[in-house]
Amino acid sequence: MSKNADLFAAFFRVGMLGFGGGPSAIPLFEQEAVKKYKWMTSDEFGDTLALANTMPGPLATKMAGYIGYRVNGIWGCLVSLFASVVPTVILMIVLLGVLQQYKDVAWVDGMSEAVVPVVGVMLAILTLDFLKKSKDSLGWLRAVIYTAASIILMEVLGIHPAILIIIILVLVFLPLNKAGEPK
């Protein structure tokens, strides 16, 4: 029961503090699932994020739903989904009339604008974290090559991240891959 209460609290916070949609809430998910409740390691979080990015649909609900499922089965999944989705939907329906009047008001705009660079910093910190781990596990040379290749493929050539992740999955599972387990 307390597991469900933790899940609710965690994803309620993520939902209420994440401005700009699911993807901008990624650092908040990491804060709750890895740092605060230690439901998964930072590596597992990276894998979950990679897979969530490869699949279609909203990111936040895939993350919340899966983490909830892992922690406490179907009920954990439902509680997490409820916590991340329902409060903000209710807010949206209830406040619609009020917000319609306030949407161009300066202080509301100011609030959403001031959050943007802060989310940027949080994402940059996570980026450094992943780069450091790449260096630790791959060695700096391979880490630099892989990172550079990812930048060129995704940012310069505009290849969709889902395609790149699928290619990595296929390469890793190819029997010819000598780094894999022997048959």
Partner 1 sequence: MIYWQIFLAFFIPGILGYGGGPASIPLVEKEVVDRYGWMTTQEFGEVLALGNALPGPVATKMAGYIGYTEGGILGSAVALFASVAPSLILMIALMVTLLKYKDSPKVKNITKMIRPVIAVLLGAMALQFFMTSYDTSGSIQTIVLVIISYWLLEVRKMHPAYVILMALAYGALTGFF
Which residue pairs from 69-78 have beta carbons closer than 8 angstroms and sit at least 24 positions apart in sequence? 70/39, 70/40, 71/3, 71/6, 71/7, 71/39, 72/3, 72/4, 72/7, 75/4, 76/3, 76/4, 76/7
DSSP secondary structure letters along 63-127: HHHHHHHHHHHHHHHHHHHHHHHHHHHHHHHHHHHHHHHHTT-HHHHHHHHHHHHHHHHHHHHHH
Cβ-based nearer residue to partner 1, 5 or 125: 125
Least Å from the CB of residue 69 to partner 1: 5
Using left for φ > 0, alpha for ψ between -120 and 50, and beta otherwise, residue 38 falls in left
Q: What's the closest the beta carbon of residue 8 comes to partner 1, in angstroms?
A: 14
2 or 57, CB closer to partner 1? 57
At its nearest, how many Å lie between partner 1 and the CB of residue 78? 11
Q: Which is nearer to partner 1, 4 or 54 (CB)?
A: 54
- ∠ Cα 152 155 63 (to 5°): 115
CB of 90 to partner 1, least distance (A): 8
Nearer to partner 1, 26 or 79 (CB): 26
Please, what is the minimum distance in Å from the beta carbon of residue 25 to partner 1? 8
For partner 1, the closer of residues 8 and 23 by Cβ is 23
